[in-house]
Structure 1
Protein backbone atom coordinates (compact mmCIF):
# COMPACT_ATOMS: atom_id res chain seq x y z
CA UNK A 1 0.00 0.00 0.00
CA UNK A 2 1.35 3.42 -1.01
CA UNK A 3 0.55 5.97 1.68
CA UNK A 4 0.37 8.80 -0.83
CA UNK A 5 -2.49 7.06 -2.65
CA UNK A 6 -4.27 5.67 0.43
CA UNK A 7 -7.02 7.24 2.52
CA UNK A 8 -6.90 7.29 6.30
CA UNK A 9 -9.56 4.55 6.59
CA UNK A 10 -7.38 2.43 4.28
CA UNK A 11 -4.48 2.92 6.66
CA UNK A 12 -6.63 2.28 9.73
CA UNK A 13 -7.72 -1.07 8.33
CA UNK A 14 -4.22 -2.09 7.24
CA UNK A 15 -2.74 -4.89 9.33
CA UNK A 16 0.87 -4.39 8.28
CA UNK A 17 3.65 -3.71 10.77
CA UNK A 18 6.28 -3.38 8.06
CA UNK A 19 7.02 -0.14 6.21
CA UNK A 20 9.49 0.96 3.55
CA UNK A 21 10.75 4.54 3.26
CA UNK A 22 12.74 5.48 0.14
CA UNK A 23 15.46 8.03 0.86
CA UNK A 24 17.35 9.87 -1.84
CA UNK A 25 18.89 13.21 -2.68
CA UNK A 26 18.42 16.09 -5.08
CA UNK A 27 21.90 16.65 -6.48
CA UNK A 28 24.00 16.76 -9.61
CA UNK A 29 24.62 13.52 -11.46
CA UNK A 30 26.74 14.85 -14.26
CA UNK A 31 25.59 16.50 -17.48
CA UNK A 32 23.57 13.47 -18.60
CA UNK A 33 21.50 12.33 -15.61
CA UNK A 34 18.78 14.16 -13.65
CA UNK A 35 19.14 15.76 -10.23
CA UNK A 36 16.48 13.36 -8.95
CA UNK A 37 18.43 10.21 -9.80
CA UNK A 38 18.81 9.05 -6.19
CA UNK A 39 15.11 9.51 -5.46
CA UNK A 40 13.98 7.75 -8.64
CA UNK A 41 16.23 4.75 -8.07
CA UNK A 42 15.36 4.43 -4.38
CA UNK A 43 11.63 4.54 -5.15
CA UNK A 44 11.89 1.98 -7.94
CA UNK A 45 13.86 -0.48 -5.84
CA UNK A 46 11.55 0.03 -2.85
CA UNK A 47 8.61 -0.86 -5.10
CA UNK A 48 10.45 -3.85 -6.58
CA UNK A 49 11.18 -5.23 -3.12
CA UNK A 50 7.61 -4.72 -1.91
CA UNK A 51 6.16 -6.41 -4.98
CA UNK A 52 8.07 -9.59 -4.18
CA UNK A 53 6.53 -9.96 -0.71
CA UNK A 54 3.46 -12.03 0.01
CA UNK A 55 2.85 -10.10 3.23
CA UNK A 56 1.36 -6.61 3.37
CA UNK A 57 3.82 -3.72 3.50
CA UNK A 58 3.35 0.04 3.58
CA UNK A 59 5.38 2.15 1.18
CA UNK A 60 5.87 5.69 2.44
CA UNK A 61 6.60 8.74 0.26
CA UNK A 62 10.25 9.33 -0.51
CA UNK A 63 12.49 11.71 1.40
CA UNK A 64 13.99 13.72 -1.50
CA UNK A 65 16.76 15.83 0.09
CA UNK A 66 19.74 14.38 1.90
CA UNK A 67 23.31 14.96 3.02
CA UNK A 68 24.82 16.25 -0.22
CA UNK A 69 26.85 19.38 0.44
CA UNK A 70 29.78 17.71 -1.31
CA UNK A 71 28.03 18.60 -4.60
CA UNK A 72 27.23 22.21 -3.63
CA UNK A 73 29.19 23.81 -6.50
CA UNK A 74 26.86 22.24 -9.09
CA UNK A 75 23.67 24.26 -9.75
CA UNK A 76 20.43 22.67 -8.60
CA UNK A 77 21.95 20.57 -5.85
CA UNK A 78 20.08 20.77 -2.55
CA UNK A 79 21.20 19.58 0.85
CA UNK A 80 20.58 19.71 4.57
CA UNK A 81 23.00 19.19 7.44
CA UNK A 82 23.52 15.70 8.79
CA UNK A 83 21.84 16.78 12.04
CA UNK A 84 18.74 18.06 10.25
CA UNK A 85 18.61 14.96 8.06
CA UNK A 86 18.89 12.58 11.01
CA UNK A 87 16.18 14.43 12.92
CA UNK A 88 13.84 14.54 9.94
CA UNK A 89 14.19 10.86 9.08
CA UNK A 90 13.94 9.81 12.72
CA UNK A 91 10.76 11.82 13.29
CA UNK A 92 9.23 10.63 10.00
CA UNK A 93 9.81 7.00 10.98
CA UNK A 94 8.52 7.63 14.50
CA UNK A 95 5.31 9.01 13.01
CA UNK A 96 4.83 5.78 11.08
CA UNK A 97 5.34 3.82 14.27
CA UNK A 98 2.48 5.64 15.99
CA UNK A 99 0.16 3.99 13.45
CA UNK A 100 1.60 0.55 14.10
CA UNK A 101 4.20 0.48 11.32
CA UNK A 102 7.10 0.01 13.69
CA UNK A 103 9.39 -2.17 11.56
CA UNK A 104 10.94 0.04 8.91
CA UNK A 105 13.47 -0.39 6.14
CA UNK A 106 15.01 2.82 4.80
CA UNK A 107 15.77 2.23 1.11
CA UNK A 108 18.65 4.53 0.30
CA UNK A 109 19.90 5.77 -3.06
CA UNK A 110 22.63 8.23 -1.98
CA UNK A 111 26.06 7.45 -0.59
CA UNK A 112 26.17 10.64 1.47
CA UNK A 113 23.21 9.42 3.54
CA UNK A 114 24.73 6.10 4.60
CA UNK A 115 26.36 7.02 7.92
CA UNK A 116 23.47 9.20 9.05
CA UNK A 117 20.87 6.52 8.25
CA UNK A 118 22.76 3.91 10.25
CA UNK A 119 22.79 6.30 13.20
CA UNK A 120 19.05 6.96 12.79
CA UNK A 121 18.26 3.26 12.77
CA UNK A 122 20.30 2.69 15.91
CA UNK A 123 18.67 5.61 17.76
CA UNK A 124 15.13 4.58 16.88
CA UNK A 125 15.77 0.95 17.79
CA UNK A 126 17.58 1.68 21.06
CA UNK A 127 14.95 4.18 22.18
CA UNK A 128 12.15 1.77 21.36
CA UNK A 129 10.37 4.06 18.90
CA UNK A 130 10.67 1.57 16.03
CA UNK A 131 13.02 -1.05 14.65
CA UNK A 132 14.66 0.56 11.60
CA UNK A 133 17.48 -0.51 9.32
CA UNK A 134 18.98 1.14 6.21
CA UNK A 135 19.37 -0.64 2.86
CA UNK A 136 21.57 1.00 0.22
CA UNK A 137 20.72 -0.54 -3.13
CA UNK A 138 24.12 -0.27 -4.82
CA UNK A 139 25.71 -2.33 -2.03
CA UNK A 140 23.34 -5.19 -2.84
CA UNK A 141 23.95 -5.86 -6.55
CA UNK A 142 26.71 -8.45 -6.40
CA UNK A 143 29.83 -7.88 -8.48
CA UNK A 144 28.31 -4.73 -9.98
CA UNK A 145 28.82 -2.92 -6.66
CA UNK A 146 32.53 -2.50 -7.30
CA UNK A 147 31.71 -0.16 -10.23
CA UNK A 148 29.53 2.22 -8.25
CA UNK A 149 30.67 5.78 -8.81
CA UNK A 150 28.52 8.86 -9.25
CA UNK A 151 26.38 9.24 -12.34
CA UNK A 152 28.47 6.32 -13.59
CA UNK A 153 27.58 2.99 -15.18
CA UNK A 154 25.28 1.67 -12.44
CA UNK A 155 23.07 4.71 -11.93
CA UNK A 156 22.99 5.44 -15.66
CA UNK A 157 22.03 1.84 -16.46
CA UNK A 158 19.26 1.81 -13.88
CA UNK A 159 17.87 5.08 -15.21
CA UNK A 160 17.99 3.74 -18.78
CA UNK A 161 15.80 0.86 -17.62
CA UNK A 162 13.47 2.96 -15.47
CA UNK A 163 13.22 6.41 -17.07
CA UNK A 164 15.10 6.35 -20.39
CA UNK A 165 13.72 9.73 -21.46
CA UNK A 166 15.52 11.37 -18.54
CA UNK A 167 18.98 10.24 -19.65
CA UNK A 168 20.56 12.75 -22.04
CA UNK A 169 22.10 10.20 -24.38
CA UNK A 170 23.67 12.93 -26.50
CA UNK A 171 25.78 13.98 -23.50
CA UNK A 172 27.12 10.54 -22.54
CA UNK A 173 30.37 10.95 -24.45
CA UNK A 174 31.12 14.28 -22.80
CA UNK A 175 30.13 12.86 -19.43
CA UNK A 176 32.60 10.01 -19.88
CA UNK A 177 35.43 12.28 -21.03
CA UNK A 178 35.12 14.54 -18.00
CA UNK A 179 34.62 11.79 -15.44
CA UNK A 180 36.97 10.83 -12.61
CA UNK A 181 38.11 7.24 -12.24
CA UNK A 182 37.38 7.11 -8.51
CA UNK A 183 35.88 9.03 -5.62
CA UNK A 184 38.32 11.45 -3.99
CA UNK A 185 42.04 12.09 -3.78
CA UNK A 186 43.63 9.46 -1.56
CA UNK A 187 46.97 9.60 0.27
CA UNK A 188 47.89 7.15 3.05
CA UNK A 189 44.27 5.87 3.11
CA UNK A 190 43.00 9.43 3.65
CA UNK A 191 40.69 11.24 1.25
CA UNK A 192 42.07 14.77 0.91
CA UNK A 193 39.01 16.03 -0.98
CA UNK A 194 35.77 17.17 0.61
CA UNK A 195 33.82 18.33 -2.46
CA UNK A 196 33.31 16.43 -5.69
CA UNK A 197 34.53 19.35 -7.81
CA UNK A 198 38.01 18.77 -6.38
CA UNK A 199 38.43 15.58 -8.40
CA UNK A 200 35.54 15.32 -10.88
CA UNK A 201 35.39 18.11 -13.48
CA UNK A 202 31.79 17.48 -14.47
CA UNK A 203 30.63 15.68 -11.33
CA UNK A 204 30.80 12.17 -12.79
CA UNK A 205 32.75 9.27 -11.28
CA UNK A 206 32.99 6.18 -13.48
CA UNK A 207 32.11 5.73 -17.13
CA UNK A 208 28.37 6.21 -17.75
CA UNK A 209 28.76 4.93 -21.31
CA UNK A 210 29.59 1.50 -19.86
CA UNK A 211 25.95 1.09 -18.84
CA UNK A 212 22.86 0.08 -20.77
CA UNK A 213 19.21 -0.75 -20.26
CA UNK A 214 19.81 -4.50 -20.00
CA UNK A 215 22.28 -3.97 -17.19
CA UNK A 216 19.81 -1.68 -15.50
CA UNK A 217 17.16 -4.40 -15.57
CA UNK A 218 19.62 -6.81 -13.96
CA UNK A 219 20.45 -4.27 -11.26
CA UNK A 220 16.76 -3.78 -10.50
CA UNK A 221 16.29 -7.54 -10.26
CA UNK A 222 19.27 -8.03 -7.93
CA UNK A 223 18.43 -5.11 -5.67
CA UNK A 224 14.73 -6.01 -5.56
CA UNK A 225 15.52 -9.58 -4.55
CA UNK A 226 17.96 -8.45 -1.88
CA UNK A 227 15.49 -5.95 -0.46
CA UNK A 228 12.70 -8.54 -0.34
CA UNK A 229 14.98 -10.88 1.59
CA UNK A 230 15.79 -8.10 4.05
CA UNK A 231 12.14 -7.15 4.46
CA UNK A 232 11.26 -10.74 5.38
CA UNK A 233 14.09 -10.83 7.91
CA UNK A 234 12.96 -7.55 9.50
CA UNK A 235 9.36 -8.75 9.63
CA UNK A 236 10.35 -11.98 11.40
CA UNK A 237 13.11 -10.65 13.66
CA UNK A 238 12.87 -10.55 17.46
CA UNK A 239 13.38 -6.82 17.92
CA UNK A 240 13.33 -6.72 21.71
CA UNK A 241 16.45 -5.14 23.18
CA UNK A 242 19.00 -7.44 24.86
CA UNK A 243 19.18 -7.41 28.66
CA UNK A 244 21.95 -5.56 30.44
CA UNK A 245 24.98 -7.81 30.97
Structure 2
Protein backbone atom coordinates (compact mmCIF):
# COMPACT_ATOMS: atom_id res chain seq x y z
CA UNK A 1 0.00 0.00 0.00
CA UNK A 2 1.26 3.46 -0.95
CA UNK A 3 0.13 5.95 1.66
CA UNK A 4 -0.15 8.85 -0.78
CA UNK A 5 -2.58 6.88 -2.97
CA UNK A 6 -4.72 5.42 -0.18
CA UNK A 7 -7.71 6.87 1.62
CA UNK A 8 -7.70 7.32 5.38
CA UNK A 9 -10.33 4.63 5.76
CA UNK A 10 -8.21 2.19 3.78
CA UNK A 11 -5.29 2.84 6.12
CA UNK A 12 -7.56 2.43 9.14
CA UNK A 13 -8.83 -0.93 7.90
CA UNK A 14 -5.53 -2.23 6.51
CA UNK A 15 -3.54 -5.09 7.96
CA UNK A 16 -0.08 -3.51 8.12
CA UNK A 17 3.11 -5.05 9.44
CA UNK A 18 5.43 -2.04 9.11
CA UNK A 19 6.12 1.10 7.13
CA UNK A 20 8.90 1.93 4.72
CA UNK A 21 9.84 5.62 4.68
CA UNK A 22 11.94 6.50 1.60
CA UNK A 23 14.44 9.26 2.29
CA UNK A 24 16.54 10.93 -0.39
CA UNK A 25 17.83 14.31 -1.44
CA UNK A 26 17.47 16.95 -4.12
CA UNK A 27 21.02 17.55 -5.28
CA UNK A 28 23.30 17.55 -8.29
CA UNK A 29 24.11 14.23 -9.92
CA UNK A 30 26.34 15.52 -12.68
CA UNK A 31 25.25 16.88 -16.04
CA UNK A 32 23.45 13.67 -17.01
CA UNK A 33 21.32 12.50 -14.08
CA UNK A 34 18.37 14.20 -12.35
CA UNK A 35 18.55 16.19 -9.13
CA UNK A 36 15.94 13.85 -7.66
CA UNK A 37 18.00 10.68 -8.13
CA UNK A 38 18.34 9.86 -4.44
CA UNK A 39 14.64 10.16 -3.60
CA UNK A 40 13.69 8.36 -6.80
CA UNK A 41 15.92 5.37 -6.13
CA UNK A 42 14.92 5.14 -2.46
CA UNK A 43 11.26 5.09 -3.40
CA UNK A 44 11.59 2.46 -6.14
CA UNK A 45 13.51 0.18 -3.78
CA UNK A 46 10.79 0.60 -1.16
CA UNK A 47 8.05 -0.03 -3.73
CA UNK A 48 9.78 -3.15 -5.04
CA UNK A 49 10.27 -4.51 -1.54
CA UNK A 50 6.60 -3.92 -0.66
CA UNK A 51 5.50 -5.80 -3.78
CA UNK A 52 7.91 -8.65 -3.09
CA UNK A 53 6.72 -8.80 0.53
CA UNK A 54 3.10 -9.11 -0.61
CA UNK A 55 4.05 -11.81 -3.13
CA UNK A 56 5.92 -13.73 -0.44
CA UNK A 57 2.91 -13.55 1.85
CA UNK A 58 0.71 -14.96 -0.88
CA UNK A 59 3.05 -17.77 -1.91
CA UNK A 60 4.95 -18.77 1.21
CA UNK A 61 3.27 -18.53 4.59
CA UNK A 62 6.37 -20.17 6.09
CA UNK A 63 8.11 -16.80 5.73
CA UNK A 64 6.26 -15.70 8.85
CA UNK A 65 6.32 -17.38 12.27
CA UNK A 66 3.17 -19.39 12.88
CA UNK A 67 2.86 -18.20 16.46
CA UNK A 68 3.25 -14.50 15.66
CA UNK A 69 0.47 -11.95 16.01
CA UNK A 70 -1.27 -11.86 12.62
CA UNK A 71 -1.68 -8.09 12.82
CA UNK A 72 2.09 -7.80 12.84
CA UNK A 73 3.63 -10.75 11.00
CA UNK A 74 0.88 -11.21 8.45
CA UNK A 75 0.38 -7.63 7.37
CA UNK A 76 1.54 -5.73 4.33
CA UNK A 77 4.20 -3.04 4.10
CA UNK A 78 3.07 0.57 3.86
CA UNK A 79 5.23 2.83 1.67
CA UNK A 80 5.14 6.38 2.98
CA UNK A 81 5.75 9.44 0.78
CA UNK A 82 9.45 10.11 0.27
CA UNK A 83 11.44 12.81 2.02
CA UNK A 84 12.93 14.77 -0.89
CA UNK A 85 15.30 17.19 0.85
CA UNK A 86 18.12 15.96 3.05
CA UNK A 87 21.56 16.72 4.42
CA UNK A 88 23.26 17.81 1.21
CA UNK A 89 25.14 21.04 1.81
CA UNK A 90 28.27 19.37 0.44
CA UNK A 91 26.77 19.89 -3.04
CA UNK A 92 25.85 23.55 -2.50
CA UNK A 93 28.13 24.79 -5.29
CA UNK A 94 25.94 23.11 -7.91
CA UNK A 95 22.74 24.83 -9.01
CA UNK A 96 19.45 23.28 -7.96
CA UNK A 97 20.79 21.51 -4.91
CA UNK A 98 18.59 21.86 -1.83
CA UNK A 99 19.56 21.14 1.75
CA UNK A 100 18.48 21.52 5.33
CA UNK A 101 20.51 21.39 8.52
CA UNK A 102 21.03 18.01 10.18
CA UNK A 103 18.90 19.20 13.10
CA UNK A 104 15.98 20.13 10.84
CA UNK A 105 16.32 16.90 8.90
CA UNK A 106 16.41 14.72 12.00
CA UNK A 107 13.40 16.47 13.48
CA UNK A 108 11.38 16.12 10.27
CA UNK A 109 12.10 12.42 9.85
CA UNK A 110 11.57 11.67 13.54
CA UNK A 111 8.23 13.47 13.64
CA UNK A 112 7.12 11.68 10.46
CA UNK A 113 7.88 8.34 12.14
CA UNK A 114 5.99 9.50 15.23
CA UNK A 115 3.00 10.33 13.04
CA UNK A 116 2.98 6.79 11.70
CA UNK A 117 3.32 5.37 15.18
CA UNK A 118 0.35 7.41 16.38
CA UNK A 119 -1.79 5.36 13.98
CA UNK A 120 -0.39 2.08 15.23
CA UNK A 121 2.23 1.69 12.51
CA UNK A 122 5.08 1.49 14.97
CA UNK A 123 7.67 -0.51 13.04
CA UNK A 124 9.46 1.64 10.45
CA UNK A 125 12.39 1.15 8.11
CA UNK A 126 13.99 4.37 6.86
CA UNK A 127 14.93 3.55 3.27
CA UNK A 128 17.78 5.85 2.38
CA UNK A 129 19.21 6.82 -1.00
CA UNK A 130 21.71 9.55 -0.03
CA UNK A 131 25.09 9.14 1.64
CA UNK A 132 24.86 12.49 3.42
CA UNK A 133 21.81 11.26 5.35
CA UNK A 134 23.40 8.15 6.82
CA UNK A 135 24.64 9.52 10.14
CA UNK A 136 21.53 11.57 10.81
CA UNK A 137 19.19 8.67 10.04
CA UNK A 138 21.09 6.32 12.32
CA UNK A 139 20.61 8.80 15.15
CA UNK A 140 16.92 9.23 14.36
CA UNK A 141 16.39 5.46 14.45
CA UNK A 142 18.10 5.22 17.84
CA UNK A 143 16.15 8.12 19.34
CA UNK A 144 12.81 6.82 18.10
CA UNK A 145 13.50 3.33 19.37
CA UNK A 146 14.57 4.56 22.82
CA UNK A 147 11.54 6.81 23.29
CA UNK A 148 9.04 4.99 25.48
CA UNK A 149 6.44 7.67 24.79
CA UNK A 150 6.04 6.65 21.15
CA UNK A 151 6.68 2.92 21.68
CA UNK A 152 8.02 2.72 18.12
CA UNK A 153 10.97 0.89 16.64
CA UNK A 154 12.96 2.11 13.62
CA UNK A 155 16.09 1.21 11.71
CA UNK A 156 17.91 2.84 8.82
CA UNK A 157 18.64 1.00 5.56
CA UNK A 158 20.74 2.47 2.73
CA UNK A 159 20.08 0.68 -0.53
CA UNK A 160 23.51 1.07 -2.15
CA UNK A 161 25.15 -0.54 0.87
CA UNK A 162 23.04 -3.66 0.32
CA UNK A 163 24.03 -4.63 -3.23
CA UNK A 164 26.90 -6.99 -2.51
CA UNK A 165 30.16 -6.51 -4.37
CA UNK A 166 28.71 -3.56 -6.30
CA UNK A 167 28.62 -1.39 -3.17
CA UNK A 168 32.28 -0.40 -3.58
CA UNK A 169 31.46 1.22 -6.95
CA UNK A 170 28.93 3.69 -5.56
CA UNK A 171 30.61 7.04 -6.28
CA UNK A 172 28.20 9.88 -7.06
CA UNK A 173 26.21 10.10 -10.28
CA UNK A 174 28.45 7.18 -11.21
CA UNK A 175 27.75 3.62 -12.33
CA UNK A 176 25.28 2.56 -9.63
CA UNK A 177 22.99 5.56 -9.59
CA UNK A 178 23.11 5.93 -13.37
CA UNK A 179 22.25 2.25 -13.73
CA UNK A 180 19.28 2.51 -11.40
CA UNK A 181 17.85 5.56 -13.15
CA UNK A 182 18.44 4.00 -16.57
CA UNK A 183 16.46 0.99 -15.39
CA UNK A 184 13.52 2.67 -13.64
CA UNK A 185 13.28 6.07 -15.39
CA UNK A 186 15.43 6.01 -18.55
CA UNK A 187 13.93 9.21 -19.94
CA UNK A 188 15.53 11.14 -17.06
CA UNK A 189 19.09 10.25 -18.06
CA UNK A 190 20.59 12.72 -20.54
CA UNK A 191 22.34 10.13 -22.66
CA UNK A 192 24.13 12.72 -24.79
CA UNK A 193 25.94 13.94 -21.66
CA UNK A 194 27.05 10.65 -20.12
CA UNK A 195 30.55 10.68 -21.65
CA UNK A 196 30.94 14.33 -20.65
CA UNK A 197 29.94 13.34 -17.13
CA UNK A 198 32.62 10.68 -17.05
CA UNK A 199 35.36 12.90 -18.51
CA UNK A 200 34.68 15.83 -16.18
CA UNK A 201 34.30 13.79 -13.02
CA UNK A 202 36.56 12.23 -10.43
CA UNK A 203 37.43 8.61 -9.75
CA UNK A 204 37.29 9.02 -5.97
CA UNK A 205 35.16 10.79 -3.39
CA UNK A 206 37.09 13.32 -1.33
CA UNK A 207 40.68 14.44 -0.81
CA UNK A 208 42.29 12.07 1.65
CA UNK A 209 45.37 12.27 3.85
CA UNK A 210 45.98 9.57 6.47
CA UNK A 211 42.31 8.62 6.52
CA UNK A 212 41.13 12.22 6.82
CA UNK A 213 39.01 13.82 4.11
CA UNK A 214 40.25 17.39 3.67
CA UNK A 215 37.41 18.33 1.29
CA UNK A 216 34.11 19.36 2.86
CA UNK A 217 32.32 20.08 -0.43
CA UNK A 218 32.13 18.01 -3.59
CA UNK A 219 33.26 20.78 -5.96
CA UNK A 220 36.69 20.60 -4.30
CA UNK A 221 37.42 17.27 -5.98
CA UNK A 222 35.02 16.90 -8.92
CA UNK A 223 34.54 19.50 -11.61
CA UNK A 224 31.03 18.48 -12.63
CA UNK A 225 29.81 16.66 -9.53
CA UNK A 226 30.41 13.13 -10.79
CA UNK A 227 32.45 10.47 -9.01
CA UNK A 228 32.89 7.21 -10.90
CA UNK A 229 32.20 6.21 -14.48
CA UNK A 230 28.50 6.54 -15.39
CA UNK A 231 29.06 4.87 -18.77
CA UNK A 232 29.33 1.60 -16.84
CA UNK A 233 25.87 2.08 -15.36
CA UNK A 234 23.75 -0.04 -17.70
CA UNK A 235 20.04 -0.65 -17.34
CA UNK A 236 20.84 -4.35 -16.88
CA UNK A 237 23.02 -3.50 -13.91
CA UNK A 238 20.20 -1.32 -12.59
CA UNK A 239 17.79 -4.25 -12.69
CA UNK A 240 20.25 -6.36 -10.72
CA UNK A 241 20.80 -3.58 -8.18
CA UNK A 242 17.07 -3.13 -7.66
CA UNK A 243 16.57 -6.85 -7.13
CA UNK A 244 19.44 -7.10 -4.66
CA UNK A 245 18.42 -4.00 -2.73
CA UNK A 246 14.74 -4.96 -2.51
CA UNK A 247 15.64 -8.51 -1.43
CA UNK A 248 17.83 -7.09 1.33
CA UNK A 249 15.16 -4.62 2.39
CA UNK A 250 12.60 -7.42 2.69
CA UNK A 251 15.00 -9.31 4.95
CA UNK A 252 15.50 -6.23 7.11
CA UNK A 253 11.76 -5.56 7.27
CA UNK A 254 11.08 -9.14 8.37
CA UNK A 255 13.67 -8.82 11.12
CA UNK A 256 12.13 -5.52 12.26
CA UNK A 257 8.61 -6.99 12.29
CA UNK A 258 9.62 -10.18 14.13
CA UNK A 259 11.88 -8.49 16.68
CA UNK A 260 10.59 -8.20 20.23
CA UNK A 261 11.02 -4.86 21.99
Cα distance in 2 between the residues matched to 1:167 and 1:78: 20
Instruction: Output the CA distance in 2 between the equivalents of 1:11 and 1:163.
Output: 29
RMSD: 0.7
**In structure 1, C-alpha distance between the alignment counterparts of 2:99 and 2:140, rounded to whole Å:** 17
The number of equivalent residue pairs is: 239
Q: Aligned pair 1:223/2:248, yes or no? A: no
> Is 2:185 the counterpart of 1:163?
yes
Alignment match of 2:77 (pick from 23, 40, 57): 57
Q: Partner residue of 2:147?
A: 127
1:187 has 2:209 as partner: yes
Where does 1:1-245 land on structure 2 (aligned, <5 Å)?
1-53=1-53, 54=57, 55-128=75-148, 129=150, 130-239=152-261
Find runs of 4+ consecutive structure 1 residues off by over 2 angstroms. none
Note if contact 1:20-1:60 (Cα within 8 Å) is conserved in structure 2.
yes
Q: Structure 1 stretches of 5 or more lacking a match? A: 240-245
Partners of 2:235 and 2:79 in 1: CA distance: 26
Q: Which runs of 5+ in 2 are unaligned?
A: 58-74
Give yes or no for contact 1:26–1:66 (8 Å, CA) kept in 2: yes
Deviations 1:53-77 (A, max 9, x none): 1241111100000000000010000
Distance 1:69 1:16 in 2: 36
- Checking the alignment, whether the CA contact within 8 Å between 1:17 and 1:100 is kept in structure 2 is no
**TM-score, L = length of structure 2:** 0.90
How far apart are residue 22 of structure 1 and its match?
A: 0.3
Counterpart in 2 of 1:242? Answer: none
**How far apart in 1 are the matches of 2:188 and 2:3?**
26
